[in-house]
Amino acid sequence: MGMDRDRREREHLPLRRVEFHILLSLAAGERHGYGIIQDIEARDETAVPDVGTMYRALARMVEDRLIEAAARRPAADAGDERRNYYRITDAGRRMARAEARRLETLMRAARLGGLLAKATK
Amino acid sequence: MRGDRLLDVSERWFRLLQRLYPADFRDEMGDAVVEAYRDRAREALNRGGIIRLAAVWVRALVDSLRNGPGERARPAASWRRRGNWGRDVELATRRLRRAPGFVLSTVATLGLGLGLAAVVYTVVQRVLIDPMPYRDPDDLYYVWRDYGTIADLKRGMLAGTDVVELQKAGGVIEQVVGLGRQLQTFAIGEGAEPIEIPVMFTSPGLFDLLGVSPAGRAFAADEEGPGGSPVMVLTHELWRRLGSDPDVIGREVRLNNRPYEVIGVLPRGFVFARNESAGPPQQADAFIPFRVRLDEADPRDGSYAGLVRARRGSSPEQVAAAVEAVGRAVDERDFDGRGLKLYPVGLKSDLVSGIRPALLALALGGVFLVLALLVNLASVLLARTAQREQELAVSRALGASGAAILRATLFEGALLGTGGGLAAALGAFWGTRALVALAPLDLARREAVVVDGRIAGVVIAAGALVGLLAALAPATWAARASLSSLLSSSAVRGGGGHGRLRRGMVVAQVAVSLVLLAAGGLVVRSFERLLRVDPGFRPEGVLSFWVRMPPEFFPRIDDVLALQDRIEEELAALPGVTGASATSVLPLCPRPLPAFAAARTYQTPVRFPGAPGNTGDADRDAPLVDRIGARNTYLDVMGIRLLAGRPFDPARRGAGEALIDSALASQFFPTGSPLGAELRIGDRALTIVGVVRPARLYDIHRDGRPQVFVRAEGFRPLAFVLRTDHDPRALIPDVRQAIRRIDPRLVAAEIRPMEELVGHSLRRQHISAVLLSAFALGALLLAAMGLYGVVAGAVMRRRHELALRLAVGADHRALLRLVLREGASLVMAGVLMGAPGIYFAGRLIRGVLLGVTPLDPLTLTSVAVGLGLVTMLACYVPARRVLGIDPAQLLRQE
C-alpha cells in the first residue's frame, strides 16, 4: 500500500506553482480571482501568473474539488460589483499541506547540503 | 469621466479577447476573467494613466493568446468537465499501460480461451447456421427411400424410375435431378497417363437447379441418355490439376477410353457433394449427363440420389406430401404396396445431421468455457480494483463521482476484453485451419470453415462484451463502496467487501469447471472405449488399394479373373509382404470408391430355405445383407476370424460357396450348425461353408447389416489388401510399380493403410475429445487460479490474526488446516452448485457418447477426484505461506 501512496504523490505532487499559490491564499480565507493575484504579488513572487492562467487553474481545481465556489458577494474594494469568491476544501487543505511538507523536506535537504543557511532555532 | 469610458473600452477589448477561449470555459469563467482584467485596468489607470492601461491591454492579449488556445488544445480538460467517456478512455489506457504484465497475461488468457471457443463457433456457424451456397438453398431437398418392412433400410438411394416419377410429379416439385457417382479412368488425351477420378452422372438440369453457371455452357436437355452427346463439365480443381488450360473448352478428353468433349468449367470455390444413404457426402471432379435411360432402370435397384427443388415459398410439409404421394405410386407399381416410402429431407439438415450432435456438444463446451473466462476476468479485475482501494479513496476524496469510477472500470474491462477478442480472432484464424486439417474427412462443409471479417467481428465484439460484463462486478463494487469504508478499509490494508464477491466467483468457477470436466471426461472415456473396440479385423500392417478393371479394357470375365490372379501373385511376391488378397468391400469404408457397377448391388436380400430359424414372414426371412466378394485368403490377410467351417477352397473356382456371419448363423440356425446348409441370393443357390465374425463396415463401434461373403470372381473393381510386418506405407511405391508393370492402363487408386481408415473413422470422436478436454482443463486452470488468488489473499489479510493465534499457542499445522478449510469449503460449494449441471450437460451431449452413460460413475468419480486434487493443490501452495509467519516479528512491525 505504501507503494500506491508514493505513486499517487508522484502523480499529484508537486502542485503547479499557481495551484499552490491559490491554495495558500484560500487557506487564509475566501478570495476572488483577482484577490488571489494580488496576494501572489504581495508574496514577492517574481512571476505573477496572468489572469487567464489563474482562472484556468481555478476552473481545474474546482473540478478536482480542491477548492469550491463560495456565494457571490460584493468585493471589498469595488463598490457594489459582485465577484466570484472561492474557498478551500478539506481535500485542498490536505493537498496543500502535503505540498508544503514536500517543500519543507526539500528545504531541509538544501540546508543540510549547505545551499541555505541553517535554521537559527 | 474619461476614465470610466476608457474602462468601458477596455472591457470590450477584454470581452473580445475571451473569444480565444473555448465556449464552455467562457461560459463558466468569462465574466470573472473580464472582471479581474477590469480591476487590473482600473488599478493601472489610477496608478500610471493611459500608458499603464495600454500595457495591461497588451498583457491581456498575450495572456489570452497563450491560455485561450491552450485551453482549447487540452481536450482532456473539457472531457473531464463534461464527464465524457473520452476522459475515461484516457485514464483506463494510461492505467493499463502502467501494468503491461497484467494486460499481457489477461489478454493472453482471454485470447487463448476465446480463441478456442471461437474455433468452435466458426465451425458451428459455418456448418450448422450459414446457408448452403446455392440459389434459394432452403427450397432444396434430398429424397430417400424408406423400405419399411420390406428391408432394413431407412435411408436408401432412389431407383432411376423414382427419379423419373418425381420429375413427372409437378405441383410444388419444380425440378428434380438424379445423381449417380462412379470412379472413372480419366485421361487428358489418348495415350496420356490415366488418373482415377470420381465422376458425377446427373440429369442435365443440375446446374440450373443449384443456380450455378459453368464457364462455357451447362448441359442441354437432349444430352441425357444413350443417344446424347458425350459432354463433360469439369470442376475448377480438376481444371487446375490438368494445368489450367485456358482453351480447355471444346477439347476432347477420355473417360474410360471413350472420347468426351469438355463444354464447361465450374466456378472457383464451387462445391457440390452428393449426399449418400450412409456415410459422408461425396464430391466429384467432373460431371457428365446420364448415359442410360432412368425410366428403364430396375425399380428395385436403388443407386441414385434424388435432389429436388421445390417451388419457391412452398412449405416443407407441402413438399413432404408431394414426395410421399409419388412414393405411394411407386410402392403400388413396383413393390405391390408392401410399404415402400419416399421422403424428403432439407439439403442442409440432411448434410449436417451426422455432425450436429458433436457440434452441439462442442458449442456447449465453448459456452461454458466463455463463462469460466468471464468469471475469471471478473475476479481478476475485482482483485485489481481492490488493490487500488486507496487510489479509489483518494479519487473519491478529490471528488470523482461513483459514476466516473464505474465508467472507468467498465471501460478498462471492455478494453481488455477487446484485446482478448482480437487475439482470439487471430488465434481462431489459425485454429480453424488446423482443425480443418485434422477434422474428420466427413466433416460436412469443411471447405466453408474459414474465419472471415464477419466472424472475426463477432469474436471481437464477444470479447468486448465479456470484458464489460466481467468489469460490472468490480465496477459496481468500487462505485458503490462509500468513501468512508474505502478509506477505512485501505487503512486496514486490503480487507474489504470485495472478499465475499471474489469467493462467490471462485465457487462459480469451480461449478463451471466441474460441469466441463464431467462433459470432457465422458467424451474422453467414450473415445477411449472406441479405441479399444474390436472392429472384427486386424488393421495393423495392412495396406489397401483399389484396382478397377473396367469392361472397356477387359470385356471378358476370364481376362479379369486371370488379371486378379496375376495381381495377387505379384503383390505376394513383393519383399516384406506376408499375404495378399482382395475383396469387393473394405471394412469401415463401405463406399470408398463409390458406386461401381458391382458395389451398387452389394446390399441384397438372402434366404435360407429350410433353415430352422425361418418364421414364415416373407420379409423377415429374407434379410437385407451386405454381400461381400472375397478371394480365398482374404479372411486370413485382413485378420477376420473364422468361427466355424473353412474359407473358400482355392481349387474350386466358381464354386457356389458362401460364408455367413455369426448374426445370421444364430438367427437362422439357433441350435444346429449352418455348415452345408443352403443360402439363396436371388435365384442362385450357394452352400454355406463357414461362419465368420463380421468385420465392421460402417461404424467401428457397432455391427451393421448382416454379412455374407461370396467368392470374388464375379466382381470387377476389387480392393487389394497386403499384410506386411513393416510399415505398410513403405510398400506404396512398389505397389504402384507392380500394378503398372502388369498393365499400364491399370491404376492403383486410394492406396491407404487400414490403420488410417480406422483413424479416419475415429477422427470425429478424437477431435471432440481433444477439444472438450482442452475446454475442461482450461476451465479447471482458471478455477485453480481463482482459488489460489483467494487463498493467498486470505493468508495476507489474516496474517495478523494468524500471528496472534501462533503467539497464543496454536501451531503452524493448525493454521494450515484453518486456511485450507476455507478453500475446501469454496470447492465444496462449487461442486454442489455444479452437480445438477453435470446431469443437464450429460443429457445434452448424449448424442456423442458411445458406450458410456451420461452419469458414468467411473468417469464422474475420477473427475471429482481430479478436481479435488487440483483445487486443493491450488489452495495448499498459497496456504503454505502461513508456515513462514513469525509472530514475534510480524506483531513487532505493527
- Residue B74: the pLDDT is 64
- Does A32 or B344 have the greater pLDDT score? B344
CA atoms within 13 A on the CB side of B429: 12
Whether residue B36 and residue A33 make contact (CB cut-off 8 A), yes or no, is yes
Q: Search chain B and give the residue with CA nearest A58.
A: B29
Q: What is the mean pLDDT of residues A12-28?
A: 84
pLDDT band at B501 (very low <50, low <70, confident <90, very high): confident
- DSSP code of B699? B
| A38-42, A54-58, B88-92, B886-890: least confident range | B88-92
Q: Rounded to the nearest 5 degrees, what angle is found at the Cα of B307, between the Cα atoms of B305 and B313?
A: 160
Q: What is the mean pLDDT of residues B533-541?
A: 91
Contacting residues of A for B97, CB less than 8 Å apart? none
- Among B68, B397, B399, beta carbon nearest to A52: B68
- Residue B486: the pLDDT is 55
Same domain, B738 and B787: no
Same domain, B335 and B360: no
Neighbours of B342 (CB within 10 A): 25
- DSSP code of A102? H
Q: The pTM is what?
A: 0.67
Task: Give the sheet arrangement for strand A67-69, strand by strand.
Answer: A31-32, A85-88, A67-69
Neighbours of B336 (CB within 10 A): 10
Pairwise CA distance, residues B558 & B549, whole Å: 12
B432: helix, strand or coil: helix
Test the A interface: residue of B29, B84, B95, B392 with most A CBs within 10 Å = B29
Contacting residues of B for A5, CB less than 8 Å apart? 390
Whether residue A8 and residue B388 make contact (CB cut-off 8 A), yes or no, is no
Number of domains in chain B: 4
Could you tell me the end-to-end alpha-carbon distance of chain A, in angstroms, rounded to an integer? 36
In the structure grid, which three cell numbers stand for residue B548, read together? 478397377
- Residue B442: the pLDDT is 61
Pairwise CA distance, residues B436 & B414, whole Å: 31
- Among B63, B387, B494, beta carbon nearest to A52: B63
pLDDT band at B599 (very low <50, low <70, confident <90, very high): very low
Test the A interface: residue of B58, B394, B484, B893 with most A CBs within 10 Å = B394
Provide residues of A within 8 Å CB-CB of chain B: 1, 4-5, 7-8, 32-34, 37, 50-56, 58-60, 63-66, 75, 77-78, 81, 83-84, 91
Do the domain assignments include residue B198? yes
Q: What is the mean pLDDT of residues B143-164?
A: 87
Contacting residues of B for A51, CB less than 8 Å apart? 33, 36-37, 40, 60, 63
Confirm or reject contact between B139 and chain A (CB < 8 A). no
In the structure grid, which three cell numbers stand for residue B124, read together? 458451428
- Among B25, B67, B394, beta carbon nearest to A50: B67
Alpha carbon B409 to its chain's center: 35
- Residue A119: the pLDDT is 57
Same domain, B367 and B470: yes
Pairwise CA distance, residues B435 & B427, whole Å: 12
Q: What is the mean pLDDT of residues B145-151?
A: 83
Q: What is the mean pLDDT of residues B143-150?
A: 87
CB B789 within 8 A of CB B879: no
Contacting residues of B for A78, CB less than 8 Å apart? 39
B530: helix, strand or coil: helix
- In percent, the amount of chain B with pLDDT more than 90 equals 31
Confirm or reject contact between B21 and chain A (CB < 8 A). yes
Which of B34, B53, B73 is the last residue in one of the domains?
A: B73
pLDDT tens for B601-621 read 577 889 999 889 898 887 788
Q: What is the mean pLDDT of residues B446-475?
A: 87
Beta pairing, strands B195-202 & B286-289: parallel
Do the domain assignments include residue B137? no
Do the domain assignments include residue B95? no
| B11-25, B85-99, B465-479: least confident range | B85-99
Confirm or reject contact between B58 and chain A (CB < 8 A). no
Pairwise CA distance, residues B776 & B57, whole Å: 75
CB B788 within 8 A of CB B780: no
Which of B746, B774, B804 is the last residue in one of the domains?
A: B746
Whether residue B390 and residue A4 make contact (CB cut-off 8 A), yes or no, is yes
Pairwise CA distance, residues B452 & A49, whole Å: 58
Q: What is the mean pLDDT of residues B783-802?
A: 82
Same domain, B727 and B819: no
- Does A47 or B34 have the greater pLDDT score? B34
Across the strands, what pairs with B187? B254
B618-631: b (≥16 Cβ within 10 Å) or e:
ebebbbbbbbbbbb
- DSSP code of B353? T
Do the domain assignments include residue B99? no
Confirm or reject contact between B77 and chain A (CB < 8 A). yes
Q: Which fold has domain A2-112?
A: Arc Repressor Mutant, subunit A (1.10.10)
In the structure grid, which three cell numbers stand for residue B801, read together? 490474526
Reference B120, options B470, B436, B509, B437; nearest CA is: B436
Test the B interface: residue of A18, A38, A51, A89 with most B CBs within 10 Å = A51
pLDDT tens for B45-60 read 888 788 888 888 888 8
Confirm or reject contact between B387 and chain A (CB < 8 A). yes
Q: Rounded to the nearest 5 degrees, what angle is found at the Cα of B686, between the Cα atoms of B681 and B688?
A: 115
Same domain, B241 and B368: no
Pairwise CA distance, residues B829 & B324, whole Å: 56
Chain A and chain B share a number of CB contacts under 8 A equal to 85
B684: helix, strand or coil: strand
Contacts of B52 (CB under 8 A, 6+ apart): B44, B45
Pairwise CA distance, residues B169 & B322, whole Å: 8
pLDDT tens for B639-652 read 999 999 999 988 88
The Cα of B31 is separated from the nearest Cα of chain A by a number of Å equal to: 9
Contacting residues of A for B25, CB less than 8 Å apart? 56, 59
A99-110: b (≥16 Cβ within 10 Å) or e:
beeeeeeeeeee
pLDDT tens for B295-334 read 888 887 778 999 999 999 899 999 999 999 999 999 999 8
Scanning the structure block, which residue is given the C-alpha cell 443352403?
A: B678
Same domain, B740 and B773: no
Domain residue limits, chain A? 2-112
- Residue B705: the pLDDT is 84
Q: Where are the alpha helices (DSSP H) in B388-452?
A: 389-397, 402-438
Question: What's the mean pLDDT when you consider all of chain A?
Answer: 77
Scanning the structure block, which residue is given the C-alpha cell 472457383?
A: B268
Across the strands, what pairs with B178? B306
Beta pairing, strands B231-234 & B258-265: parallel
Neighbours of B778 (CB within 10 A): 24
Best-predicted range by mean pLDDT (A77-91, B322-336, B539-553): B322-336
Pairwise CA distance, residues B672 & B675, whole Å: 9
CA atoms within 13 A on the CB side of B709: 29
Whether residue A64 and residue B387 make contact (CB cut-off 8 A), yes or no, is no
Q: What are phi and psi of B243, to 5 degrees?
A: 105, 15
Same domain, B207 and B333: yes
Q: What is the mean pLDDT of residues A39-56?
A: 82
| B75-79, B387-391, B405-409: least confident range | B75-79
pLDDT at B716 over 70: yes
Neighbours of B441 (CB within 10 A): 10
Q: Radius of gyration (Cα) for chain A, nearest Å?
A: 17
Whether residue B36 and residue A54 make contact (CB cut-off 8 A), yes or no, is yes
Q: What is the mean pLDDT of residues B624-633?
A: 89
Same domain, B827 and B777: yes
- Among B40, B71, B391, beta carbon nearest to A56: B71
Pairwise CA distance, residues A30 & A57, whole Å: 16
Instruction: Tally the residues of chain B.
Output: 894
B232: helix, strand or coil: strand
Confirm or reject contact between B390 and chain A (CB < 8 A). yes
Pairwise CA distance, residues B404 & B399, whole Å: 10
- DSSP code of B128? I
Q: Is the dihedral of CA B97, B99, B102, B108 positive or negative?
A: positive
Same domain, B288 and B315: yes
pLDDT at B91 over 90: no
pLDDT at B130 over 50: yes
pLDDT at B484 over 60: no
pLDDT band at B38 (very low <50, low <70, confident <90, very high): confident
Do the domain assignments include residue B375? yes
Question: What's the mean pLDDT when you consider all of chain B?
Answer: 84
Domain coverage including residue B618: 549-746
Pairwise CA distance, residues B529 & B534, whole Å: 10
Pairwise CA distance, residues A41 & B43, whole Å: 14
- Residue A2: the pLDDT is 42
Contacting residues of B for A65, CB less than 8 Å apart? 397-399
Q: Search chain B and give the residue with CA nearest A64.
A: B398
Pairwise CA distance, residues A11 & B394, whole Å: 12
CB B365 within 8 A of CB B772: yes
Q: Search chain B and give the residue with CA nearest A33.
A: B36
- Among B28, B37, B398, beta carbon nearest to A91: B398
Reference B78, options B19, B29, B32, B25; nearest CA is: B25
Contacts of B599 (CB under 8 A, 6+ apart): B584, B585, B591, B593, B717
Same domain, B330 and B409: no
Confirm or reject contact between B391 and chain A (CB < 8 A). yes
Contacting residues of A for B60, CB less than 8 Å apart? 51
- Does B145 or B847 have the greater pLDDT score? B145
- Per-residue HEC secondary structure of B707-761 comes to EEEEEHHHCCCEEEEEEECCCHHHHHHHHHHHHHHHCCCCCEEEEEEHHHHHHHH
Same domain, B306 and B388: no
Q: What is the mean pLDDT of residues B394-412?
A: 72
- Does B106 or B127 have the greater pLDDT score? B106
Q: What is the mean pLDDT of residues B802-816?
A: 85
Reference A87, options A66, A73, A107, A103; nearest CA is: A66
CB B716 within 8 A of CB B543: no
Whether residue A56 and residue B81 make contact (CB cut-off 8 A), yes or no, is no
pLDDT band at B594 (very low <50, low <70, confident <90, very high): very low
Q: Can you list the positions of beta strands (E) in B538-620?
A: 542-547, 577-583, 603-607
- Among A53, A55, A60, beta carbon nearest to B32: A55
Beta pairing, strands B657-661 & B684-692: parallel
